Structure 1
Amino acid sequence: MIHPNSTYKRIWDLFVFICITYFAIEVPLRLVFHQKLTSGVNAWERFIQIIFGIDLILNFFTAIIRERLLIQNRKIVAKSYLKTWFLIDFLSAFPFDLFGGFFFAYFGVTDSLKILRLLRSVRVFELFKSLRMLALGADSEDRFKLLEVINPMTFRLIFFVYWTTLFAHWVACGWIHLSPEFLTDKDMFTRYIRALYWSVTTLTTIGYGDITPTTNKQTIYTMGVMILGVGIYGYVIGNIATLLSNLDISRVTFQEKLNTINSFIKYKKIPPHLANRIRSYYVNLWENKHGIDESEIWDQLPSGIKIDVSMFLHNHLISVVPFFKHAPEELKREVVLELKPAYYMKGDMIFREGDVPHNMYFLSKGHVEVIKEKTGELLATLNSGSFFGEMSLIDDSLRTATIKAGSYCDVYTLSRDAFQEILRHHPSFDKHIQEIANERKVHQSQSKHPN
């Protein structure tokens, strides 16, 4: 059985969609202008009919998805197809022109039966839905699960524009069919453009009145188009309004949060310099993270995915720390899971010289300045990918320098308590850390009492 979400099936569906669109545009034009097919066009249409026939057969051998379950039973698949799309696909693929004499003798029609190919246009919605979805995990047990690759509102707008354009084309062809005398002195292209102009102005309820019905059939047809136009116009306005309001939900949410912060600042009568720092923090948070609350997303992820994502995002950060370079992979996975995000504005003191240490820091974005508190001397500047405060994990010494944010900084912290808990699970690495701590103490003792 063919998997419905395989790459080849997606490509095939796209090709079938193009063929359906071609017929939906070409067949009405040929019928209203009574054009004869050239040998080249006839061969092309015969090829498309063969494509439709192959697609009809493939549908009997394509698995279906029901309630997130992949059904590959051929009897169930065939029964489902026969109840749904089979008749439409059959009528659109059947070569009526090859049996013209039979249909003319019994029904009095031949070429007009090609209009039945337009029935296949109703399948465009299903193909649209298929093309906007992406299969997840093609080689896993969850390969039948789908992910929307186009925002639902965007999809609705694209689909609506497609169908509205196609419908306006059909209405224009209908006007030409009901008005054989319409601009008979003009060429075919001009007649079609003017008819399409009438179709658009009528469907959009503008109706300039420069093209008006003169017969009862035209009048009834125009009234029907007007009624449909009112519905389409209302649908367009409603969808565009919804689309614009949801165009950037994260920005709207951020603005609401900023309004709440401004109310808080006003209510608490916070001084201007502090208020500006608060606003600056949230603006930088928006510019760097688009207002995403990383902790909230993190808490909702299952542990298995959380560990893998953590390793992908943070493994390069911890691997540059000397005593983590040769750490077991299991310990690294536990460490990255304990990393907590933190943000600092330019000028913020991350910690001061002489502070009691509690965390180690990994600098993901921005740069920090290492300063000697007493003299104000700039000892070093650390950039993205650097780390600092690592000795807080292995000894009790106080901070030996002040770390100041030189720009907006996106950092991750590892607490000493969390690290000590991890070491309990890895006694051999705990021994290695103790050796490093002892060597550091010896080195400090020698530096104080040189030989």
Structure 2
Amino acid sequence: MGFEQRYNIKEGDWNEDSSKTIGVFILSPKHRTARLWNLFIALTSLLAFSVSMFRVFFTEDLELISTIYYCLDFIFLLNIISCFFVGYEKDGVVITDASNVRRRYLHTWFIVDVCSLIPLEMFSHFWSLNRCLRVLRLFSIINSFGKEPDTNKIHVAALKSFCIMTICIQLSACLWHYNVCESSHSKLGRICQQDFNWLQLIPEISTNLDGISDMTFFGNAIYWSVITLSNVGYGDIYGTNTTEVKLAALVMVIGFLAIAGVIMTGMSSIIGNLDAQRGRFYSRIDAIRIHMRYMELPQEIQTWVYRYYYYLWIHHKGNAFDDLFDDLPYALHSEISTARYKPLLKKTSIFEDTGDGFIRALNVKLSTSTYSQGQILAKPGEMNRNAFYIENGLVQVYGDNDEKIATLLPGTLIGEVYLVYKIPRNATISASTLCEICVLEHKDLISLLADYPEAGLKIARAARTRLHNVKYPLSEAFALGLASNPQSVVFHQNCHADGKPKDQKISNVLNEFISHQLKDPSSSSTDNQKIHWIPTFRPDDRFAKSWNIIILWCVIVSIFTESWVLFFANNLETGGFYYKHMGLMYLLLSVLIDCVALIDIFINLRIEVMTKDGYSTDFISIFNNYRKSWNLYFDVLAIFPFDFFSFVYTGELHWRNLTYFRLNRLLWIRKVYCHFKKSEKDLDNDLFVQRSAKCIFLLIFILHVCSGCLYLAGCSNYRCDEDSWAWNTGLKETQSNFYHYMVAVYWATTTMTNIGYGDILPSSMTEKLVAGMVGLVGLFMFNYIVSQIYATLSAKNASR
């Protein structure tokens, strides 16, 4: 079968956009608008499933729910219409032909979509469950996102896990409620069984069944569903008869399979796959280190090799791209090479007027290599017949007695005449920083001249006219391709004060030209040093690393202190920061940490930035990097003195509102996240140690926050609200806040670890919903921690 028959392309359909010939615009499924629309449809489909289940099994008389219900129908109708104007992908080919798009949609999803939109509820309210068919659309969209190579697989897995848990919770809650009560429809009210059932276990429902709202029934059913699916099982709601026991057992099994079988294994596999590349690279680095020590190589060479691989990991994730496109067809490979090395060939005068065919063939021969700091490219007297083009980094040119002649910037071409003539080098050229340099070898050029003899003659004539320029070291620094681009060279003015007359003349002319015509700040490093007299620090310096540890501990202490005061000391009986003698200590500690954070902002403006050209000490570059990373905005906003707004209030209100105005310090959570993320990328750090520290912090912080949320649910105004879980547990006003904190931590721990002793039970609907959320958060958190440990140990033991 030919290409035309396979994709149903008729004669005359080979225009650039065949859909435009018939006046219909077809949007590519790869377009950002199409992807965002699909994501929106996926979320609305999940919401439509939840709303339709609520209307069928609880009530359809709520006006707000009915309004949302029909609005979702209208949105899905728009989706059906849009599917006729969005292309599709088949065997890697994006089809945008209007007739093919319509035909495919009519033969695939059109019937399912229409069936999920027909208003069948006019016959029976159970028929409105046809909206649940949109779940098929939901998972179809999620699976399509997972197949895209440029999507974040962790985000896709998180979305899929969220949808699975939402569907399981909603479905089990509806079945649990429908087992004892029929839904209320057409103002008939709810009809429940008179036998003993799980409703009799809830005091507010068992004593006043008719006066309970629909949302109360729904909330209790959701609470039971979450607690059962997460296997917490407090014991306050349980199966009282055979049917309820069977249903509860089924829900437990579904929860275990959905969580352990889908969410946990999926997360572990994704994190493991992401760490596989790092594990292989680590194993390679270890093998290279052992082999270099076995060969007893000089420490300088070992340092060069390590810096090379470190640079490769930071900028290319450990991949060398020299042979990445070798399996591509020659025509496509040459197009890629031509686009990449176009700046180089513009600066190579000896290749002018050689023809497009020769240029395309020459581009394929070019290769880019990474050079470590101090590595030699060429030495005086050696027959090095290669030309070098600096893509990134700085290269130093030395003359006699290691005298610095010039610093070559990115965009510099070095030694093109050596490609043609066998002449010994007359200057030392070495990498001043980590560099990416494009290399053209003499043998590769000669191999092309047999096929392009006319180009060879032109190259020889151009090289002959420039042969006289290689007699002097200073001339060799710029004359071979640099005279037309003096902005790529920074000459050292005093390097040839006692040199030859021709070298002095060349140096004076070029320095005068640079000082009058160039405005590049990088060509005047002495001016930058005069303006910015404060020293800069390398990120790997001992001071920078020590300061990062200090600021990390400071922000962690601040995060826990501010949140503890909010959760456990900000009530009418404690008064926030005005809590007895402890208030002064809180304030002094907070002010001290704020001062340290302010100093941290100034230090970050003096931390050098690692670029492809090495570490940049320019203040503008450091500031732009600090700003573009959003760290500057978060750091400033985190210490912004919103505290002054609390002086609008007086008395206890001042101290309580001071707690709220200081919540911007919680933005430092991002700083902690960035620290652990950066530490994991550092090859010098033990990945297992870094991830263990991250998981410990995550465990303690989430446990701290969850215990605070549980405490606020029952003690928002007073330390022990009546009829709250704290009151029923026996917490008293006379007990210390720290004792209340430990009890809340204990309950949060038993809930997050799915133990659920049942000695502490939620009382109100708010407490039940918060407890259910804590159970789910603990479930996902422990799954994430286990996945991290599993992936780290797998990558660590991969070499074995």
Instruction: Answer whether TM exceeds 0.5 for this pair.
Output: yes
Measure, in 1, the Cα distance between the counterparts of 2:81 and 2:303: 67
Post-superposition shift, 1:427? 4.3
1:251 matched to 2:278: yes
The alpha-carbon distance between structure 1 residues 321 and 307, as it changes in their structure 2 partners (threshold 3 A), is same
* Residue of structure 2 aligned with 1:27, choices 49, 52, 71: 52
Measure, in 2, the Cα distance between the counterparts of 1:318 and 1:60: 47
Question: 2:435: which partner in 1?
Answer: 409
Question: 2:166: which partner in 1?
Answer: 165
Question: 1:17: which partner in 2?
Answer: 42
Question: 2:118: which partner in 1?
Answer: 94
Question: 1:119: which partner in 2?
Answer: 133
Shifted more, 69-78 versus 360-369: the winner is 69-78
Q: Deviations over 1:410-445 (max 9, x none)?
A: 111101122233344444443333333332346779
* Residue of structure 1 aligned with 2:425, choices 393, 399, 405: 399
Question: 1:36: which partner in 2?
Answer: 61
The alpha-carbon distance between structure 1 residues 401 and 32, as it changes in their structure 2 partners (threshold 3 A), is same
SS of the counterpart of 1:213?
Answer: coil
Alignment check: 8 A CA contact 1:132 1:155 kept? yes
The alpha-carbon distance between structure 1 residues 93 and 331, as it changes in their structure 2 partners (threshold 3 A), is same
Post-superposition shift, 1:240? 2.4
Question: 1:344: which partner in 2?
Answer: 371
Post-superposition shift, 1:259? 2.1
Q: Deviations over 1:361-385 (max 9, x none)?
A: 111111111001x322111001212
The alpha-carbon distance between structure 1 residues 274 and 125, as it changes in their structure 2 partners (threshold 3 A), is same
Q: Deviations over 1:201-230 (max 9, x none)?
A: 321223232322223332221111011122
Measure, in 2, the Cα distance between the counterparts of 1:68 and 1:441: 52
Alignment check: 8 A CA contact 1:63 1:77 kept? no
The alpha-carbon distance between structure 1 residues 128 and 415, as it changes in their structure 2 partners (threshold 3 A), is same
Measure, in 2, the Cα distance between the counterparts of 1:381 and 1:59: 59
Measure, in 1, the Cα distance between the counterparts of 2:280 and 2:42: 38
Alignment check: 8 A CA contact 1:345 1:405 kept? yes
SS of the counterpart of 1:293?
Answer: coil
Measure, in 1, the Cα distance between the counterparts of 2:247 and 2:340: 62
1:265 matched to 2:265: no
SS of the counterpart of 2:341?
Answer: helix
Post-superposition shift, 1:244? 2.2
1:129 matched to 2:137: no
Alignment check: 8 A CA contact 1:52 1:92 kept? no
The alpha-carbon distance between structure 1 residues 41 and 34, as it changes in their structure 2 partners (threshold 3 A), is closer
Alignment check: 8 A CA contact 1:314 1:336 kept? yes
Question: 2:176: which partner in 1?
Answer: 175
The alpha-carbon distance between structure 1 residues 389 and 68, as it changes in their structure 2 partners (threshold 3 A), is closer
Structure-1-length-normalised TM-score: 0.79
Measure, in 2, the Cα distance between the counterparts of 1:161 and 1:132: 15
Q: CA RMSD in A?
A: 3.6
Measure, in 2, the Cα distance between the counterparts of 1:132 and 1:380: 52
Question: 1:49: which partner in 2?
Answer: 73
Measure, in 1, the Cα distance between the counterparts of 2:154 and 2:392: 34
- Higher relative contact order structure (alpha carbons within 8 Å, sequence separation ≥ 6): 2
1:301 matched to 2:332: no
Shifted more, 433-442 versus 17-26: the winner is 433-442
Question: 2:793: which partner in 1?
Answer: none
Measure, in 2, the Cα distance between the counterparts of 1:289 and 1:73: 41
Aligned amino acid, residue 137 of structure 2: R
Shifted more, 178-187 versus 386-395: the winner is 178-187
Equivalence map 1:297-376=2 (5 Å): 297-324=324-351, 327-372=354-399, 374-376=400-402
Aligned amino acid, residue 165 of structure 1: T
Alignment check: 8 A CA contact 1:369 1:381 kept? yes
Post-superposition shift, 1:407? 1.1
Post-superposition shift, 1:324? 3.9
The alpha-carbon distance between structure 1 residues 260 and 431, as it changes in their structure 2 partners (threshold 3 A), is same
Structure 2: any 5+ residue segments left out of the alignment? Answer: 1-18, 20-25, 182-198, 476-499, 503-800
Equivalence map 1:62-211=2 (5 Å): 77=104, 80-81=107-108, 88-97=112-121, 100=122, 103=123, 110-131=124-145, 147-150=148-151, 155-180=156-181, 181=199, 183-184=204-205, 188-189=214-215, 191-211=217-237
Alignment check: 8 A CA contact 1:157 1:239 kept? no
Equivalence map 1:209-248=2 (5 Å): 209-235=235-261, 236-248=263-275
Measure, in 1, the Cα distance between the counterparts of 2:417 and 2:324: 30
Shifted more, 177-186 versus 54-63: the winner is 54-63
SS of the counterpart of 1:361?
Answer: strand
Q: How many residues align?
A: 421
Post-superposition shift, 1:88? 4.1
Post-superposition shift, 1:386? 1.1
Q: Deviations over 1:127-170 (max 9, x none)?
A: 2233556xxxxxxxxxxxxx533255653443122222232132
Measure, in 1, the Cα distance between the counterparts of 2:136 and 2:470: 80
The alpha-carbon distance between structure 1 residues 12 and 123, as it changes in their structure 2 partners (threshold 3 A), is same
Post-superposition shift, 1:260? 1.7
Q: Deviations over 1:11-58 (max 9, x none)?
A: 6644543432221121222334324153x7656644543555676687
Measure, in 2, the Cα distance between the counterparts of 1:325 and 1:188: 82
Alignment check: 8 A CA contact 1:49 1:95 kept? no
Higher strand share: 1
Question: 1:432: which partner in 2?
Answer: 458
Q: Percent identity?
A: 23
Measure, in 1, the Cα distance between the counterparts of 2:75 and 2:126: 21
Post-superposition shift, 1:94? 1.6
Alignment check: 8 A CA contact 1:154 1:243 kept? no
Measure, in 2, the Cα distance between the counterparts of 1:86 and 1:438: 72
Alignment check: 8 A CA contact 2:389 2:438 kept? yes
The alpha-carbon distance between structure 1 residues 304 and 204, as it changes in their structure 2 partners (threshold 3 A), is farther
Aligned amino acid, residue 118 of structure 1: C
The alpha-carbon distance between structure 1 residues 31 and 75, as it changes in their structure 2 partners (threshold 3 A), is closer
Aligned amino acid, residue 304 of structure 1: A
Q: Deviations over 1:160-185 (max 9, x none)?
A: 22222232132223333335535536
